[in-house]
Chains A and B, each alone.
Chain A
Amino acid sequence: MDYSYAPLLFFAGIGAAFAIFSVVGAGSLAGPKRYNRAKVDAYECGIQPSPQPEGGGRVPIKYYLTAMLFIIFDIESVFLYPFAVSFDRLGLFALIEMVIFVLTVFVAYAFVWRRGGLEWD
């Protein structure tokens, strides 16, 4: 039997135990219990949660646009990071490729910018 994964399991166990202890155990044992409106609300990235009308309601479509833009640039940075880390070994070819990649993303950016995708209202 191969025990090389044992430490992983061990750490996972400790992590789970810590999570359970801190959320369920410690909080309920030690914390003061003073509820207010903000505390029982759902957590939405720190902004005011949208009101919940009957039937679930709608989230403004603009959120999606922002989220999509975020994903585009997020993925760009995900590509840029490993490139930056091993830039010295990759050489000129990779630099050119990366510049092309960034340029194509900028084309998309230019489109969004010119067509008013960055304006909130």
Chain B
Amino acid sequence: MHDATGVASVGWLMIALPLLGAAVLLLGGKALDKAGPYLAVLLSWAAFVIGLLIVLQLRGRGAEERAMHLHLYSWIPAGSLNLDAGLLIDQLSTTFVLLITFVGSLIMVYSLGYMEHDPDKRRFFAYLNLFVASMLLLVLADSYVLLFVGWEGVGLASYLLIGFWNWNPAYATAANKAFFLNRVGDMGMLLAMFIMFWAWGKLDFAGVNAAVAGTGKGTLLAIGLCLLVAACGKSAQFPLQSWLGDAMAGPTPVSALIHAATMVTAGVYLIVRSNVIFTASENARLAVCIVGAITLAAGAIIGCAKDDMKKALAASTMSQIGYMVLAAGLGPVGYAFAIFHLVTHGFFKAGMFLGAGSVMHGMNDQVDMRRFGGLSTVMKITWVTFGLGFLAIIGFPGLSGFWSKDKIIESAFIGEGWKPWVFGLTALLAAGVTAFYMSRLFFMTFMGKRRWTEDVHPHESPLTMTIPMMILAVGSAFLGLILGPTNIITDWLEPVVGAHEEGHPVIGQYPLMAITVVLMIIGVAIAWKMYWRDDVPITPPVGSPLTQAARRDLGQDDLNEAVFARPGLHLTRSLVFFDNKVVDGGGNGMAAGIGGSSARLKKMQNGYVRSYSLTMLLGVVAILGAWWVVQ
């Protein structure tokens, strides 16, 4: 690995600039209320420029010469563990850098308009800058530990931003749930690191990658599964997915940036970054595939039933990340496609979220799609840009999603035995369902009859908001075409993720493409009939049991609640006064269970010296007794 030279040697500025922005904005006080947001946007763009220069620098070198290492300082020198803080500037990380800084900066520009009247926007932009810095640290880190720093940082920023409007207790609960499910993931991450340290004594990517060969299958599987748990928490994958829908409580630009384009893809990044481990452990990869397949199907089904525009988009995000995870689980055939889809998805999903924000902006912050309809006439720019994103995600031939998602479906069919059929068919059918629910969303919002409430007067959003949407729409349309068929992305990533294996799908490539397109058309057609041609009822129909289940996120919260929350909650509620507000199903359930047992144990702490000394005496007796027994 080469030491960083040229622009790359100041790569740390990419992280430092937004971080500086966050600090200045948070500490600056009211004086910066006006100028602060602009400073934040400027610094974010500066990070993008540096990132772009680095990529240009990398392109000037040979494929194998591109990865560079930038040593920052000696961070935790703890005896046998000598951990340096350094940045790994290679093809994978710079891909992410460009995505994060470009989309992030666009969304910050958009936020200038969206948050214009918010009294607290200085704090908002500070958090956004903090997020960008953390996310860049996450992808640029040269070791799992430093990655974990960014990992927690983005979690923190996400938490702060979901709960940004914390005067609403429901939003606060959502922020909480996100935090707890993420902690489960973090535990996976920590355990993975400790197993790595135990097995290899190393935690930097280069060291770990070199040590994988010759390690036992069991160890690799354990590490792989722990990493998978971590990825599930961050990327809202089954069974830790339920926080993402609730996270939509945050301001819409946040949903676009963090909960669609960047942070939620960190799990995919983690898996691809650990590709050496996953390539070596087939069982771990199988687990990844299963998780991805379940999530992409579940997300698609949930997406069909949601009437809340943002929650429908969230379900779609879950499903699309499911595709990426599935691709990453397929191994060398899929890594590059996972990242490819991640990039295109970043563009079109961010664009659609911004569109949703624009719609909300014009509709007095309503999100119920049953009260939308016919907006295409009054919000033309939003309609067109959203439409391009919509066509991209359903895989309309020629647009970005077509190139990236199709590749994943194709890869899922590669292999032998039952696996290609199960994973391939799931991915294929879900593509049809995707077309249906996205069309449903699009038609309900922009097409058909107007079902507006009396008091709304929809209008197009200001230019600060629409220009970013236009740029993202252009990306949604053409990025796939530029990167995909030309093999730019696969060639670019090859040195990191290993040589791309050309496999043969169990169904031929062109028939498969045709089936995909046909399924897509069927999905769109059904949606057209139901949600454009026919009238959409304003009150949701009762629906089939599946619809009902999907509305309730396929029972994820109910399951959590029944298993963990209810028994513990009953005990805890009277004891811990604010659990009514805080312990609300979801991830808190486990904690409530612990709370219950804690309450029972609390009785031992009765305040009498005599019982305390008795406990001590019993402790002594137990220790000595145990020793004598062992003797």
Whether the complex brings A and B within 8 Å at their CB atoms is answered no
